[in-house]
Structure formats: C-alpha cells, structure tokens
C-alpha cells in the first residue's frame, strides 16, 4: 500500500520517533561530508500553490543530496492552474515521478490527489495542517532538550494550520499543549474535541505560557488571509510573544516559530533574536527531517 504524509497521524508514534533519530543521523552524515546517494534517478514533483522559501529549498536540496532531483511546479505554468482536474493531475504526475509534495489551500485537494496517486504524497502545507514543520520542530526540541514526552508546550496565537499540527503532535509525541487564541481565531472545534486528553484552550496568553517548556507562535495572518491583516493586527495585539510572556514560562523554555516572522507583531525582536530562540535550528532541520521522511516513503 502506498504510504502518504498528509498529517502527523499517517505515521505511528514509533515511526515518528525513528524518523527523528534518522533525521539527526542524516544531519551528522552531512556535517561529516559523507556522500549518501541512495535515490539516484529518483524524482520528486513539487506542486506549490502558495509561496515558499524553506519548504522549496529544503525539499529540492534534500533530493540533490540523495542523488535525485526535484521539479518545481506552480499553477501559473501548469495545466493544474487552468482547471485540469486534481484527479487527472494525480494520475498523470504519479506515472512520471517517484514522490510528490504539494502546498495548497484546501486540505481536501491533498486528500483527493493522494487517493489518485500511485506514489507517496507529502503535505507541504495546507490551510489545515503543516506536518513537515512539526517534524523539524520535534527534531529541534530533541536536539536541545531530549524527549518531549510529558513536557508542557504553549501555542499562543492563531488557531491555524501550524496550531492544528501541534494538536496532532501533542498526541503523537505525548506532550501537553496549552493553546491561547483570541475568541474568533480558535482552532478547529472537532480537532480540539478529539484531543481533550492532551490539549487545553484559553484566551489568556499568560495562563497558557505559565510554566511552559516550549513557547510557539506563528504569523497572525497566514497565506491567503492577506486582506484580513489590518483587523488581525488589532485582534491579536495582546498575543505577542515578548519578555512578559517568556517571564512566566520555565526559565529554560525554548522559543520556536516556523518562519517567516514579523518582528514587532507576533514576536518581539528581543525574543526571536534572544537566548531562548531556536528558530534557525528549526529552519535548518526542515532539510534533515524531510530527508528522513523522503527516505521513509521511498524505501
């Protein structure tokens, strides 16, 4: 059966743990200058309906390290953007490449694509989830602090795709997640309801941050919500991660952000550029974690 990676739930907790260990190993191999090219001649198709810096470069570089290659596709220059059905695009592309990653709007687009694909499909961000980022975040946590099991994580900000993937991660990696979001920006109600054992919701950022081992946030307006930006800046004003928030977290708490960040909005410059921030490791680990994912799906 073809395995896909549309959400973190597509892998078991045991598989996820093994994948992180492999990511750490691949990172060490690269640092040692070791050549490892198990996927010569293999091709990754990359379909981007939204902008990207980290995701595109990490997937493309990862395939190059492995001896394979990647093809960048956007709606502007493919029939996908001119209304060719997703099902047909999936049937055609998956006869030509070995693996496909998609960054899109509706999560259903990914599900439909995967249903009709002969090869593994990776979610490189949808409006609902961003599971690849969580692999990198969990690797980063592990490298700095060891196991995240039983730890306390605070998500402060929009109940968006990243927040939803943190909800899945709480169950899959065994941590407690405390979410603080403004009333009209809370995460998906069904997802929350099915994770009551490991996730809480408040609208008080200090309450969520209190005693946390890890503080995480993301932009206030995600891709596709640009026209709401002005209103969102007003609605999220009290949710900035700054020294007042970090002061109530554990003294050794880490700060993460998937990037791109807006200093002075969701995070103050002194926090993102400060001693507790691990955002650059987090960004680099996109490369190593996704290489481990590619290897898992292609082997």
Cβ 47 vs Cβ 72: under 8 Å: no
Cβ 37 vs Cβ 154: under 8 Å: no
55/240 with CB nearer ligand CP: 55
- Considering only 36, 43, 52, 188, the residue that binds ligand CP (CB under 6 A) is 52
Q: Which stretch binds ligand CP (CB under 6 A): 27-35, 50-58, 85-93, 144-152?
A: 50-58
Strands (E), 49-89: 69-73
Residue 53 is a binding residue for ligand CP (CB under 6 A): yes
Residue 165 is a binding residue for ligand NVA (CB under 6 A): no
Structure tokens at 233: 């800046």
d(CA 154, CA 195) in angstroms, rounded, equals 15
Lay out the site mask for ligand NVA across 214-253 (x = CB under 6 A, - = otherwise): ----xx--xx------------------------------
For the four alpha carbons of 89, 98, 165 and 245, in that order, the dihedral sign comes to: negative
Q: Which stretch binds ligand CP (CB under 6 A): 22-30, 48-56, 111-119, 192-200?
A: 48-56
Q: Which stretch binds ligand CP (CB under 6 A): 35-43, 49-57, 137-145, 150-158?
A: 49-57
55/94 with CB nearer ligand NVA: 55
Which residue among the candidates 4, 22, 103, 288 is catalytic per the annotation?
Answer: 103
Please give the radius of gyration of the chain, using alpha carbons only, rounded to the nearest integer. Answer: 19
Cβ 66 vs Cβ 291: under 8 Å: yes
Residues 6+ apart with CB under 8 A from 129: 6, 7, 8, 107, 123, 161, 164, 165, 168
Residue 161 is a binding residue for ligand NVA (CB under 6 A): yes
Cβ 144 vs Cβ 21: under 8 Å: no
Q: Kindly report the CA angle at 175 between 219 and 275, in degrees rounded to 5? A: 55
As measured in angstroms, the least distance from the Cβ of 57 to ligand NVA is 13
107 is catalytic: no
- Bridge partners of 152? 176
Structure tokens at 180: 């603080």
Which residue among the candidates 17, 127, 133, 137 is catalytic per the annotation?
Answer: 133
Structure tokens at 81: 């953007």
Residue 280 is a binding residue for ligand CP (CB under 6 A): no
72/105 with CB nearer ligand NVA: 105
73/219 with CB nearer ligand NVA: 219
Residues that bind ligand NVA (CB under 6 A): 125, 130, 160-162, 218-219, 222-223, 258
Residues that bind ligand CP (CB under 6 A): 52-55, 125, 133, 258-259
Residues identified as active-site: 103, 130, 133, 218, 258, 286
């Amino acid at each position: 059966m073809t395995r896909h990676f549309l959400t973190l739930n597509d892998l078991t907790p045991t598989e996820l743990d093994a994948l992180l260990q492999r990511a750490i190993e691949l990172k060490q191999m690269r640092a040692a200058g070791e050549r490892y090219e198990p996927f010569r001649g293999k091709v990754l198709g990359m379909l981007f309906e939204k902008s990207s810096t980290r995701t595109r470069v990490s997937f493309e570089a990862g395939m190059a390290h492995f001896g394979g290659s990647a093809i960048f596709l956007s709606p502007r220059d493919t029939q996908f953007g001119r209304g060719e059905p997703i099902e047909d695009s999936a049937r055609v592309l998956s006869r030509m490449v070995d693996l496909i990653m998609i960054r899109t709007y509706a999560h259903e687009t990914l599900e439909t694509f995967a249903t009709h694909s002969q090869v593994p499909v990776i979610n490189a961000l949808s409006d609902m989830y961003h599971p690849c980022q969580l692999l990198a975040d969990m690797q980063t946590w592990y490298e700095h602090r060891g196991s995240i099991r039983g730890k306390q994580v605070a998500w402060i900000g929009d109940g968006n795709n990243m927040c939803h993937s943190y909800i899945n991660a709480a169950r899959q990696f065994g941590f407690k997640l405390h979410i603080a979001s403004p009333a009209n920006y809370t995460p998906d109600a069904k997802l929350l309801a099915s994770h009551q054992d490991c996730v809480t919701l408040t609208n008080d950022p200090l309450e969520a941050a209190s005693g946390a081992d890890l503080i995480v946030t993301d932009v206030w307006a995600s891709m596709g919500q640009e026209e709401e930006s002005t209103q969102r800046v007003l609605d999220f004003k009290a949710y900035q991660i700054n020294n007042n928030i970090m002061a109530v977290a554990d003294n050794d708490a880490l700060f993460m952000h998937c990037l791109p960040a807006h200093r002075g909005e969701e995070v103050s410059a002194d926090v993102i550029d400060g001693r507790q921030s691990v955002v650059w490791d987090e960004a680099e680990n996109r490369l190593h974690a996704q290489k481990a994912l590619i290897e898992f799906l292609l082997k």
